[in-house]
Structure 1
Amino acid sequence: MSIFDGLLGNASENDNQDTQQELTRILASDERVEKAYSIIRDQIIFTNKRLILVDKQGVTGKKKEYLSVPYRSIERFSMETTGHFDLDAELKIWVRGQTEPISKTFRNDQNIHDISRALAEYAL
């Protein structure tokens, strides 16, 4: 996907090696990035041990929040696809101990299916 797609809110798959390099300071010694996606400035990263959600904040995006969710803590997840009049797709992930789900919005995007499939592979 192009930079233009990312700006529109469409997810694009990232290179696993580049993402591994970016996260070397927070990954465990035997942890490896298996899939990584960008949505505008944020990222959804699947490792062999956990799900990492990166929320870039501020104007420059230099400040980042890393939310680490062990796969065993994911209770359920849902995917809402786009329709004729509703052009937003939505992914919701319920984590044990939280009342509200983690929610990510996609715009007219096919990669939500890939992300949902990856969640099924790792969390089930």
Structure 2
Amino acid sequence: MRDHVVLTSKRIAVNVQGITGKKKDFTFLPLVKIQAFSVETAGTFDLDAELELWFSGLGKVKFEFSGRTDVAYLNKLIAHHVL
């Protein structure tokens, strides 16, 4: 649970750490390149919420969140910048 996703007004920043926590990967995805997106809330048996983004020139990027994450709020933020 050390991985982080940060959504700003211009981009999504993703920080993925390796098993030991010493190796880090930073990826910045510009919101203006999003062509489509999908949000799936957590359910009774499937406790993870999901966010899928389709970027021009990159393809699909999928994020999984714990059931506590307010994906409706994420949906609102992304829709504000994309639509």
TM-score range, shorter chain: 0.7 to 0.9
With the length of structure 2 as denominator, give the TM-score of the two structures. 0.78
Gaps of 5+ in 2: none
The residue type equivalent to 1:54 in the other structure is N
CA contact (8 A) 2:36 2:54 kept: yes
Which aligned pairs between 1:22-101 and structure 2 lie closer than 5 A?
40-59=1-20, 61-99=21-59, 101=60
Q: Distance in 2 between matches of 1:62 and 1:85?
A: 34
How large is the Cα RMSD of the aligned pairs? Answer: 1.8
Higher strand share: 2
Answer 1 or 2: higher relative contact order, Cα 8 Å, separation at least 6: 2
Alignment correspondent of 1:35: none
Q: Distance in 2 between matches of 1:81 and 1:112?
A: 6
How many residues align? The count is 83
Gaps of 5+ in 1: 1-39
Q: How far off is 1:43 after superposition?
A: 1.5
Q: Which has the larger radius of gyration?
A: 1
SS of equivalent residue, structure 2 residue 32: helix
With the length of structure 1 as denominator, give the TM-score of the two structures. 0.57
Which aligned segments of 4 or more residues in structure 1 are displaced greater than 3 angstroms?
none
Farther off after superposition, 74-83 or 103-112: 103-112
